[in-house]
Amino acid sequence: MSDYLEGYGVGDEQRERKRKRIVIGLIVLVVAGVSLFAFFHNFLEERAGKRFLEGLRSRDYQSAYRMWGCTEQTPCRDYTFDRFMKDWGPQGTYSDPAKISYGEVDACGGGVVLGIVYPGADPAGLYVDRSTKVLSFAPWPRCPGRHWNFKSAWQNLFGNPAPPPPPGQ
């Protein structure tokens, strides 16, 4: 008689464990998917901005200018190469080494605004079109509306804290 009741409820426990594993697995998948989307949503556009800045650092101004969609076959009417060099060339406004400020990368409709930080100049904004990856000056410093800054929130939570200011400042 003890063998008869020994397996009583074992199937229910196994089903309950299986349900918990499925629910936990789905939650992990959703969190991982949202995290990957948040961190890599603008990856290609950020990479285009980095390639542009690398072209400027290596003084390959022709390839950097082509990233603006300006070529010999289709020249830019309103942004000539001379004007480009006044902005981005060795004696230009944005001639110092720059970097993309990750707290200021915003998705705006059909493109992404990349905040570019320069040591000797005001911050600039680059607009990268999502479909063509063509660069231009951003019409706004940041996209209009509310912003979700997952990367800056992540860096604030888990990144290295900012160094303290020097004494006397």
Tens of pLDDT, residue by residue over 89-132, are 888 877 766 666 655 777 887 888 888 877 766 777 889 999 99
What value does the mean pLDDT take over residues 151-164?
A: 64
pLDDT in tens, 127-157: 999 999 999 988 877 777 666 666 666 667 7
Across the chain, mean pLDDT equals: 80
Give the confidence band of 165 by pLDDT, cuts at 50, 70, 90. low
Ramachandran assignment for 102, one of left (phi > 0), alpha (psi -120 to 50 degrees), beta (any other): alpha
pLDDT in tens, 68-96: 998 878 888 888 888 988 888 888 877 76
- Is it the case that residue 158 has pLDDT exceeding 80? no
Which long-range contacts (C-beta less than 8 Å, at least 24 apart) are formed by 66-72? 67/133, 67/134, 67/135, 68/134, 68/135, 68/136, 69/132, 69/134, 69/135, 69/136
- Is it the case that residue 168 has pLDDT exceeding 60? no
- Is it the case that residue 1 has pLDDT exceeding 70? no
